[in-house]
Structure 1
Amino acid sequence: MSSVADYKQEMRFETFSYLPPLTSDEIRAQIQYVISQGWNPAVEHVEPSGAMRNYWFMWKLPFFGEQSVDSVLAEVEACHREYPDHHIRLIGYDNYTQSQGTAFVVYRG
């Protein structure tokens, strides 16, 4: 079994967790995708020790009907300023399926 690669003991969660951190342009593109799908963006945060819990703390209410990438990005940044040591994730809620269309961590605490 010596040929099997050891994975770093880093916590992995949500979409894109095995990729390098997203750039600001990639984050902007993902927010644009959420909006273009008609999903409702929402921002959540949690302290790193609670990252594997099912429920994270919601930053405000979901942004129902929001069409501006800049507005969503401003809320992500505001949450990060308020909780700089927390994990911050963006979720796209799908009204049709009544579930999350996507979720990914924007900032790691």
Structure 2
Amino acid sequence: MAVNPYLGSKRYETFSYLPAFTPEQVRNQIAYAIAQGWNPAVEYVHPEEISDNYWHMWGLPMFGEENVDTVLSEIEACHRAFPNYVVRFVAYDNYAQSQGLSFVVHRGA
């Protein structure tokens, strides 16, 4: 895991090269994923285990969820339960049978 010299933070995934998303940008990304028909999910991991391939799922994927606020409340519930962990949003694409989108929402301690 490398440190981004411009942001002074660790790089986790594609969007981590950018400044942290604002709440409105997070909302827009989730709305985009839902509009694509992708299934939202929340995952978390301890910062020391970030380079492992396995992340813990916060419950099950929210199959068919169409409400952005419901997804945001699950992200916040996960962050409250694990305040020092890295929390990310994932959207699963049924057609491609893979992740359509994923990004870190909370970078942990």
TM-score normalized by the length of structure 1:
0.91
Contact 1:87/1:105 (<8 A) preserved = yes
Aligned to 1:103: 102
Aligned to 1:78: 77
Give the AA of the match of 1:14. Answer: E
Larger of the two Rg values belongs to structure: 1
Q: Which deviations, in whole Å up to 9, do the C-alpha atoms of 1:70-97 show, x marking residues without a partner?
A: 0000000000000000000000000001
RMSD over aligned CA atoms reads 1.4
How far has the Cα of 1:15 moved from its partner? 2.8
Partners of 1:10 and 1:24 lie apart in 2 by: 19
Partners of 1:35 and 1:41 lie apart in 2 by: 7
Give the AA of the match of 1:46. Answer: V
Aligned to 1:40: 39
Mapped pair 1:54 → 2:53:
yes
Give the AA of the match of 2:75. Answer: V
How far has the Cα of 1:10 moved from its partner? 3.9
Aligned to 2:16: 17
The runs of 5 or more residues in structure 1 that have no matched partner are 1-6
Where has structure 1 moved over 4 Å in runs of 4 or more?
A: none
Partners of 1:15 and 1:67 lie apart in 2 by: 25
Sequence identity (%): 57
Aligned residue pair count? 104
TM-score normalized by the length of structure 2:
0.91
The runs of 5 or more residues in structure 2 that have no matched partner are none
Partners of 1:38 and 1:11 lie apart in 2 by: 31
How far has the Cα of 1:14 moved from its partner? 1.7
Give the AA of the match of 2:17. Answer: Y
Contact 1:15/1:102 (<8 A) preserved = no
Q: Which deviations, in whole Å up to 9, do the C-alpha atoms of 1:28-85 show, x marking residues without a partner?
A: 0000011000000000000100011111000000000000000000000000000000
